[in-house]
Amino acid sequence: AGCAVPAWLQRRLQAHIERHLPALDARRLVAASRQLEDLGPTAAADIVLMWRRWVEANLETCRLRGWGRYYDALREVTAWRDEAACAQLRPWSVSLAEAVLQGAIVECMCDLADSALPLELGLEVSYIATPGSQVASRLQAQLEERLRLALRGGGRGG
């Protein structure tokens, strides 16, 4: 492991990220999140909020250009969580990655699942959602309704 980045530099990084948030891809946002998590467990709420803003900021772009950014986000944050679990360097890193996954990505996608979200992406998100959680239950109900409509030919399936 290298030297820790000084806290003042991490704060400047955070300000820079906020300015350019919509333009960042998921891989870069994970890298930035890993740097910011060095500030410790207290930075977790800010990182989750940053990811929520990223998901919301990219919604219109995804509607126009495709949903690849969100597929990438699911893949990158899941990899971050899994790598953190294997490395076991920071005890809060796994829970932070999981909080980003559940509290930002899954929750925001659930809010879109009844209309905007492509069915295939909704199913992917439902697979990642914490089983038995309120969000998972809501997502399941929304996706079941969309599947029913799609099978009847009365709605868009994805």
**59, pLDDT greater than 50:** yes
pTM of the model: 0.80
Per-residue pLDDT reduced to its tens digit, 92-110: 677 889 999 999 999 988 8
**Amino acid at residue number 134:** Q
| pLDDT given for residue 51 in this prediction | 94
For the record, the structure tokens of 80 come out as 């971050």
Scan for tokens 């699942």, then name that residue: 113
| pLDDT given for residue 1 in this prediction | 44
| pLDDT given for residue 155 in this prediction | 58
| pLDDT given for residue 7 in this prediction | 73
**129, pLDDT greater than 70:** yes
If one compares 9 and 109, the residue with the highest pLDDT of the two is: 109
Compute the distance between CA of residue 18 and CA of residue 88 in angstroms, rounded to an integer.
28
Percent of the chain surpassing pLDDT 90:
30
Cβ neighbors of 84 (< 8 A, separation 6 or more) are 90, 93, 94, 96, 97
